[in-house]
Structures are given as structure tokens and as C-alpha cells.
Amino acid sequence: MNNRFLPVSRADMEERGWDQVDFAYVIGDAYVDHPSFGHAIISRMLESRGYRVGIISQPDWRNPESVCIFGRPRLGFLVSSGNMDSMVNHYSVSKKRRKTDAYTPGGEMGKRPDHACVVYGNLIRQTYKETPVILGGIEASLRRLAHYDYWSDSLKRSILLDSGADIVSYGMGERSIVEIAEALDAGIPVEELTYVDGTVVRVKDRERIKEAEMLPSFEEMKEDKKNYARSFYTQYINTDAFNGKRLAEPYSDHLYIVQNPPSKPLSTMEMDDIYALPYVRTYHPSYKVKGGVPAVSEIRFSLISSRGCFGGCSFCALTFHQGRIVQVRSHESLLREAEIVTKEEDFKGYIHDVGGPTANFRHPSCEKQMEHGVCRNRQCLFPNPCRNLDADHSDYVSLLKKLRDIPGVKKVFIRSGIRFDYLLADRKNEFLRELCEHHVSGQLKVAPEHVSDQVLALMGKPQNKVYEEFIRQFNRMNEQLGKKQYLVPYLMSSHPGSTLKEAVKLAEYCRDLGYMPEQVQDFYPTPSTLSTCMYYTGLDPMTMKPVYVPKNPHEKAMQRALIQYRDPKLYDLVEEALEKAGRTDLIGYGPKCLIRPRRSGKAGASSGGRRADGRKPQTDKKRKKKTIRNIHRKK
């Protein structure tokens, strides 16, 4: 493969015979020219249209000169914080600074600023006051209108205002960025580009806002959280490219932030063209001295087969970013990429993943969507699968069979997650057999998230009985195949709606499974999700009914500790939680008890190194064997 990286320095630019770039692309990640990275897709898309693009990766935000290496770009600056929101990248849910950054050479932390898009935008404005600045990527996309910021515990303005940028290209961005580039190239002033689908712009004159639904003003939302909840729900039902309305958010009588309708979904041919662009498929060679970029190892031998998700989980921002209409690549496109992967030097015969946001979504959920869009006020899978749902895995099964037959491929894994309720809705049961027989390596990770139907309803997840049915079918299929394979459930604590009562119920469920997860995901309020709106307002924006929200750090610690009740270090938290929940019946010596009564002194010290339930601790090796053996076997 003779593909070349795009210029990262003035010397690279001059080597190509360029005296100027059309676009300088400032990114918070290391430069990785692989289609799993948004900056790679956007830069190669522009290159394919004849534009000259230079990459400025992780500039020193304390030095304005760091964004000047190519000089003034002819058409503008593109800015992205990277593949993750910079705040999520930097901080855990407890707001503690993370130690490593998988998107930086050598995993080094601290190479990008907090709120990177805002900082980069203002850094550019210090030197290039008139040059157009276009924001894109996940951080800008999910902060495009007023949004709750968990780290400052406040409502923030549209990122367009705080960054000093001219346009936000939201969503996946391929259509909008090309239209913006062509308009700028034609000499249209950036302030006139107020009409492009998939963009958010600043408008000073209300009369220039055509056919828009007015949202509550920023001041109204700050004064009353109910206004924010109503605004968020209006945004939520206008995320579809076919029926989404233009929205306008007032900041004063002479300042409006306008969100144009989303860009239309890509056809299969367009998806194929994007993934056929001349990517080098790895990180820039300048990073070798630091050992490369850790995130590359996760995607190097994986295939992206789709984008978009109609799952509708409340805590997920995919509805706002990629939308609910599933878009797919053809088999031929994926097979060509798989053959390239098999020829890479370090390929060992294993394709790590074939999927997308949800692996087993390979077409829109019903036939009408590509013409009329998704339903504004109904979900495809929640609370029950829609009667119009086209639950069919035949295309995905066919694709997986073809990939397995490629010379050099030993096994094809599915790691990007499946929707078990969608799997169950497919009565043919063919995919479950294929999954268990060929695509599981002993353990399959699934995400029931909780067992309380009250919490699951707020999560937008199916009732617990649906997961129980999946367990039965999964176990039965493995018995038929003569395989010993197990489900590993992802569980979430402290989601809105979860009281200590629901947390105890989840702990009892883990007890009955004989399973203690080594890690538990505490709910993380990230921008532009239904769950985050609930967290901030205490209201379900879909019904405007009050929702209990566990916010106190100590209560959140108790909820998390209950799921890991066997850990001796958590004894005090578990005991306190059970007492507060009125469930001291679970403190004792019976088979249903979570912990043993306290002896003299502290639990850990007084029990001679025993576990919180009073029994002798097992070695990590024995505990792991027992966990795998017992998981999902009911007593």
C-alpha cells in the first residue's frame, strides 16, 4: 500500500509543492489515518474533492504559534476535540483525572486541554480573526445547543458561542463539510452559510430564520429547569433527517443559534466510497518513538459495517450524533477491507469485530424510514418491539459466513455489542446459532444494565424478563452445540430512577448468579442524552414527570458497592446501604444474605482476612473459575 499521510508540517506541505493548504485541521487526538477516526474520514473526503488539507495534531494550546504551522489556510480551519469528548477523555465519573489517554502517543495524558473545541477555537481567533472556523466531531456535535455540563454542574451556552467558531458541522459530517467547502471555495462569505443541513450557525436577525421552531431562550432555561427539559425533548424528536425541523435558540433579541435539519443518511454506495478512500490505516510514523497510539490496537483488525442506531437507550448520545436510521456498507466493501487486514504484518488470523453502534443492526428498522424517516414519538424497540419492526439477521449472517471463508481468517469475533431484544424478535433463530457456534470466545458481553423494570423503563431498555428469556435461549443453544459459553452482563449503578431499593435488587440478582463484576459503570452524565437531562432537571423530558436522581457521592458509592458486596473493602458501605434501605434481613448467615454480621472492630480486620460475607477469601484464579462456571446459572 503506497498511500501517504497528509502533511503535518510546513516541510510536508512544501514537499508536495503546495504554498498553502485549503484547510488546516486542528485535532485533539494523535493523527491516525484510519476510518475509525473522524478526522481521517473528513480529511480524506475533502482530499477526494480536490482540496488540500494539512493536519495539526494536539497543538500546544498555550502557544498561538502552534496553530500557525501552515500559515493562513485558503478556506478555513477545521476543529475537532477527537474521537471522544475531551472532558470524558480526561475525567472519570467521580471527576478524578484519568492517568492515560488512549488517543495520544504512548498513552500520555495532558496533550489536549479541557473543553478542547472551545480552547482551540479561541486559540485560532487570537491570530486569524477573519478566517472561517468550522467545528466538528463528537464534542461539538453534542454541545451544539445549550447543554448541561456535568463537570461544572451548570448549563452552558452553545459551543459555537464559547469557541468563537462560525459553524458547527454536527453528526457524521461528510455531507455538510463538502457543501461548506464548496460554498467557501465559490466565494460565499461564511456568515452567509446559514442553510446547510447538518450544521448549527449564528444568526443576528430573526427575520432571516425561515420556518424554524423557537426553543426557550438560554435565560429562560437557566431560570427554570422545566424549560430546559422541554427544549431537550423538542431537540430529541427533531433528530431525524426526513422530518426534523429547523430549531432556533434565542440568546438575545439580536442573537440566535440556529440548528438546521440533520443531513440525509448515506446510501450504501456512499458508505462504500468513504471506506475505500486511500487511508494509510495506522498512526503517523512520528509516534513510533513513543510506542504508537494505544487506541489503534482496538480497531486495527476490526471492521465498521454500519452506523446509526434505533436502540434508543436513554443514556446514549447516538440518537443526537449518528441518528436512528441504520446505514450500512456492502458485503463487497467489507470483504475488500478484510482482505487488506489479513495482509497486515501483525495479523494473527482474528478479526476482532464486525459491527457498529449495535453489531446486529444491518438495515433500517422498517421499510418506510428511508423515505419518511423514523417516528417522532415512538421507539422501534421500546417498550416493546414495534409491529412494523423488520427483525431479520439474514444479511448479517451471510456477511459473517463470507468473512469466515477468507483465506487466513481463523475466527471472526463480535465485540461491539448486540441487542438481545432485537435478536429475540427474529423468530428464525439463525443468528443465535451462528453467534454461539462461530463468534463467541467463551464469554459474550451483553448489556442488560439493570434488573429493576422501573429503572429499565427510564433507561429505554427492555424489561428484565426479556433478558431472562435471552439467557434461556443462549444457554439452550450452547447445550445443543455442546459448548460451554457464558454471558457477562454489563451493569450500571446510580442511573436516574435508581434508589437504594433498586440497587439492593441488583445486588440480590448478582448474588443469585454467583457473580460479582470486577468493574461497575456508575452512570456518567455526558452531554445530550435523555438520562443526562433527567439527572440535571429531575424530570423525564418525555413525560415531564419527576424522577428520583441519586446525586450525593456517598449514596452513589453505596449503590456501586452493593453490586460488589463481596469485596471486603466495601463492607461498611454495603452495611450502611442495607440499613438505610431497610434490608437488614440481608445481613446474617443465611444463604440469601449478602454480608455476615459485623464482628469486633472493623469488618476487614476482625474477620482474619475473610470476605465481607464472613467466608474465607478465594484466590483470584479460583474466584474467576467459579464466576465463569456459575454465571447465569439460577439456583
Instruction: Give residue 2's pLDDT.
Output: 59
Q: Compute the distance between CA of residue 306 and CA of residue 419 in angstroms, rounded to an integer.
A: 14
Is residue 14 packed enough to be buried (19+ CB in 10 Å), middle (13-18) or exposed (0-12)? exposed
Q: DSSP of 150-194, one letter per residue?
A: TTTTEEE--HHHHHT-SEEE-TT-HHHHHHHHHHHHTT--GGG--
Tell me if 138 is assigned to some domain.
yes
Beta pairing partners, 76: 23
Inter-residue contact 117 to 159 (CB < 8 Å): yes
Tell me if 291 is assigned to some domain.
no
Tell me if 342 is assigned to some domain.
no
Instruction: Give residue 113's pLDDT.
Output: 98
Angle at which helices 394-404 and 430-438 cross, to 10°: 30
Q: Which of 11, 12, 10, 6 has the alpha carbon at shortest distance from 32? A: 6
Residue spans of the chain under pLDDT 70: 1-2, 600-635
Instruction: Give residue 603's pLDDT.
Output: 45
- Radius of gyration for the chain, computed over Cα atoms and rounded to the nearest angstrom: 26
Total domain count, the chain: 1
Tell me if 271 is assigned to some domain.
no
Report the CATH number at residue 116: 3.40.50
Q: Decide: helix, strand or coil at residue 544.
A: coil
Q: Which of 335, 330, 337, 347 has the alpha carbon at shortest distance from 276? A: 337
Instruction: Give residue 436's pLDDT.
Output: 97
Instruction: Give residue 178's pLDDT.
Output: 98
Tell me if 103 is assigned to some domain.
yes
Q: Which of 195, 184, 161 has the alpha carbon at shortest distance from 23? A: 184
Count Cα atoms within 13 angstroms, Cβ side, for 543: 7
Query: With helix as H, strand as E and coil as C, how does 386-448 read?
Result: CCCCCCCCHHHHHHHHHHHCCCCCCEECCCCCCCHHHHHHCCCCHHHHHHHHHCCCCEEEEEE
Determine the structural domain holding residue 159 and report its residue range.
Answer: 10-206
- Go through 580-608 and write b for each residue having 16 or more CB atoms within 10 A of its CB, e for each that does not: ebebeebbeeeeebbbbebeeeebbeebe
Inter-residue contact 310 to 326 (CB < 8 Å): yes
Inter-residue contact 325 to 267 (CB < 8 Å): no
Is residue 194 packed enough to be buried (19+ CB in 10 Å), middle (13-18) or exposed (0-12)? middle
Tell me if 226 is assigned to some domain.
no
Tell me if 337 is assigned to some domain.
no
Instruction: Give residue 632's pLDDT.
Output: 44
Q: Decide: helix, strand or coil at residue 302.
A: strand
Q: Compute the distance between CA of residue 32 and CA of residue 300 in angstroms, rounded to an integer.
A: 11
For the entire predicted model, the pTM comes to 0.92
Instruction: Give residue 600's pLDDT.
Output: 54
